[in-house]
Structure 1
């Protein structure tokens, strides 16, 4: 249990730091961060704090979907945004293409490892993933359709609000799935039973 709790906490903190790196790279961020950044521009609330607020609001959408949050869900809302906001306060914006891409790829890699740590601890999904699985359960839509609908919607709204969409957004979408797929089997706390029994890695998710 101690290992699982520690893995959960470390994973969520690293996830926020990874997201902060992609923001400071200035090349485009993942859909939910685009949305948080766009809202942040118009409210003056920091991107990290806005990430936590959005996570809480998304959690409210679980109620009609009859989803039940876990400890990891609540910790996600508290820690990811907080660590992201702290990291943004100490990591300066990147200047120069080389530094920008280094920060972008470093951020994506860190988010993938963090996702493996967080998901592998098995304390419940993040609020955004829970929204998609809840839609799948209640509406009967395929998971990929639920994810596409939600993420394209928040991406579009975030872009309209001024969030950063660019090559980084595309690279994040392309790379995060395969990287989490590699990280999760190595960091899964149930590796000795779940992974061995299925002879395959669990379906990759993100900590959101």
Structure 2
């Protein structure tokens, strides 16, 4: 795949990923574990959702150091772009309060997230900060990728819930559906090497 096409997929994927997060937040029925933590921290610090996303990414990248993980171009692009795009989405999207609108908004966000993940991961420019943390734990300590992911997400979910982040049916739906959805979208967009790197691990680790 030509480099320009990979860069375009990376850019589109990252923008779509940040906007998908905003859609799911505006649905108001629960968000993914890392976003629950982001909401909790934003609530207590007064910082915007996107800024907390960015700062959290920086902290997670620091955890890469003892795990001997090395960031790549896509890692840096992810860190710099997801937060601002999420803030943009939250600025232009209305908060939903009617049940059918909440469901449609969340479903749209989840589907967009799956497509964005296929584009971003398939471009093969390196994992996002949170995905890299999971992979680093897997390589450093020999934990299965699924076990590492579950341990991380349960921890951040618990912390975010204690801080007042929104846990709901959307949280469960994201946890159950994002893996199968990305398993469909990733082969559509991925280079062969990116697919091979994801096979046997967890496509649901996705971009952030």
Q: What is the TM-score normalised by the length of structure 1?
A: 0.94
Q: Which residue of 2 aligns with 1:101?
A: 103
Instruction: State which of 122, 125, 128 in structure 2 corresponds to 1:126.
Output: 128
Aligned pair 1:144/2:146, yes or no?
yes
* Kept after mapping to 2: 8 A contact 1:184/1:202: no
Q: Which residue of 2 aligns with 1:54?
A: 56
Instruction: State which of 163, 178, 182 in structure 1 corresponds to 2:165.
Output: 163
* Kept after mapping to 1: 8 A contact 2:179/2:202: no
1:8-48: per-residue Cα shift (whole Å, max 9, x none)?
01101100000000000000000000000000000011111
User: CA, structure 1 residues 3+46, in 2 after alignment: closer, same or farther (shift >3 Å)?
Assistant: same
Q: Which residue of 2 aligns with 1:135?
A: 137
Q: Which residue of 2 aligns with 1:207?
A: 207
User: CA, structure 1 residues 136+202, in 2 after alignment: closer, same or farther (shift >3 Å)?
Assistant: closer
User: Could you tell me how far 1:95 is from its partner in structure 2?
Assistant: 2.1
User: CA, structure 1 residues 36+119, in 2 after alignment: closer, same or farther (shift >3 Å)?
Assistant: same
Alpha-carbon distance in structure 2 between the residues aligned to 1:148 and 1:181: 18
* Kept after mapping to 1: 8 A contact 2:26/2:90: yes
User: Could you tell me how far 1:77 is from its partner in structure 2?
Assistant: 0.7
User: Could you tell me how far 1:73 is from its partner in structure 2?
Assistant: 0.4
Instruction: State which of 159, 183, 187 in structure 2 corresponds to 1:181.
Output: 183
Aligned pair 1:35/2:41, yes or no?
no
Give me the CA root mean square deviation: 1.8
User: Could you tell me how far 1:79 is from its partner in structure 2?
Assistant: 0.8
* Kept after mapping to 1: 8 A contact 2:37/2:159: yes
| Alignment length (residue pairs) | 204
Alpha-carbon distance in structure 1 between the residues aligned to 2:70 and 2:25: 31
User: CA, structure 1 residues 56+194, in 2 after alignment: closer, same or farther (shift >3 Å)?
Assistant: closer
Gaps in structure 2 of 5+ consecutive residues: none
User: CA, structure 1 residues 95+111, in 2 after alignment: closer, same or farther (shift >3 Å)?
Assistant: same
* Kept after mapping to 1: 8 A contact 2:32/2:174: yes
User: Could you tell me how far 1:144 is from its partner in structure 2?
Assistant: 1.1
Gaps in structure 1 of 5+ consecutive residues: none
